């Protein structure tokens, strides 16, 4: 079943006039939030766009490509690296509750508290870029003598947030495919204009804009092409 769903999902460039259910799209976004993500910080937000005026403006910001022009709804996935403090606290609160319920051991609870109270702030705190540089040079120095985690700079944290958001995006698109809806992740867009349209904070970054609808008869432009599997598969 999962293989069928994956094969069914295509980037649809043109949608029919058929309407899609707000609730079903929302349910697929809920599935997106179940995606694996770095440190379970969930540094993302999801914007479910159904308002006709906002859709009109987003279509222009998406360079008026066919997928945008014919989309019945859009979902914009945003990274929020700046929310690491509040998301850490949410994890601590949840884990404390699980400890009180007896779901996790005292040792596991203490290790988790240490991670979110010390390790996460050590990795995510910034001060005009200086902390990133210090972390980078320390990691390189220690790495001369033993294996060490090296993705410690501000840019690394951005990449990690976007990787997690991309996993959520795939959850969303596969869920839509399962329910008989179609999607198109659109790389071509003016992300600054998108941020203004959605009134996003300066710390927000657009990860993906996904057009949603039901495929028209000519919505998929060609058969799927992939390079030969043996060119990308390495068995060790």
**Predicted confidence (pLDDT) per residue in 2-51, tens digit:** 999 999 999 999 999 999 999 999 999 999 999 999 999 999 999 999 99
pLDDT greater than 90 at residue 195: yes
Q: Report the C-alpha gap between 210 and 212 in whole angstroms.
A: 6
Region 177-182 average pLDDT: 98
- Number of neighbouring beta carbons within 10 Å of residue 190: 14
Predicted structure pTM score? 0.95
Question: What sign has the CA pseudo-torsion 7, 12, 184, 181?
Answer: negative
Note every long-range contact of 105-110, with CB atoms under 8 Å and residues 24 or more positions apart, other chains counting.
none
d(CA 47, CA 160): 20
Mean pLDDT, residues 192-221: 97
How many Cβ atoms from other residues are within 10 Å of residue 150's Cβ? 13
Average pLDDT of the chain is 97
Round to whole Å and give the CA distance between 235 and 20: 42
Chain centroid to CA 3: 22
Question: How large a percentage of the chain has pLDDT more than 70?
Answer: 100
CA 9 to chain centre: 18
Mean pLDDT, residues 151-160 taken together: 97
Q: What is the rounded CA–CA span in Å between residue 81 and residue 33? A: 16
- What does the pLDDT read at residue 1? 84
CA 115 – CA 152 distance, rounded (Å)? 15
Give 124-136 pLDDT, tens digit per residue.
999 999 999 999 9
Would you tell me which CATH number, out of the four given (3.30.360.10, 3.40.50.720, 3.40.109.10, 1.10.3720.10), belongs to the domain 2-80+156-213? 3.40.109.10
Write out the two tokens for 235.
């068995």
Number of Cβ within 10 Å of residue 92's Cβ equals: 17
Residue 121 pLDDT exceeds 90: yes
Distance (Å, whole) CA 158 – CA 231: 30
What span, in angstroms and rounded, lies between the C-alpha atoms of 128 and 141?
22
- Residues whose CB is less than 8 angstroms from the CB of residue 201 and which lie 6 or more positions away in sequence, other chains included: 82
pLDDT band for position 160 (cuts 50, 70, 90): very high
The mean pLDDT of 201-218, rounded to a whole number, is 97
- pLDDT recorded at residue 54: 98
Residue-wise pLDDT for 53-105, tens only, equals 999 999 999 999 999 999 999 999 999 999 999 999 999 999 999 999 999 99
């Amino acid at each position: 079943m999962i293989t069928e769903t994956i094969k069914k999902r295509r980037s649809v460039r043109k949608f029919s006039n058929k309407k899609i259910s707000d609730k079903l799209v929302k349910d697929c976004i809920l599935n997106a939030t179940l995606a694996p993500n770095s440190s379970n910080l969930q540094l993302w937000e999801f914007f479910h766009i159904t308002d006709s005026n906002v859709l009109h403006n987003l279509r222009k910001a998406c360079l008026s490509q066919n997928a945008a022009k014919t989309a019945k709804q859009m979902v914009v996935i945003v990274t929020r690296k700046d929310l690491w403090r509040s998301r850490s606290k949410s994890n601590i609160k949840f884990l404390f509750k699980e400890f009180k319920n007896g779901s996790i051991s005292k040792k596991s609870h203490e290790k988790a508290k240490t991670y979110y109270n010390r390790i996460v702030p050590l990795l995510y705190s910034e001060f005009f870029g200086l902390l990133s540089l210090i972390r980078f040079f320390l990691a390189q120095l220690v790495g001369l003598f033993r294996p060490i985690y090296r993705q410690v700079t501000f840019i690394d944290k951005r990449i990690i947030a976007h990787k997690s958001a991309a996993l959520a995006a795939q959850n969303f698109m596969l869920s839509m495919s399962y329910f008989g809806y179609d999607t198109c992740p659109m790389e071509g867009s003016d992300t600054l204009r998108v941020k203004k349209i959605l009134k996003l904070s300066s710390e927000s970054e657009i990860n993906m804009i996904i057009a949603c609808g039901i495929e028209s008869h000519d919505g998929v432009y060609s058969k799927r092409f992939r390079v030969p599997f043996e060119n990308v598969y390495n068995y060790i």
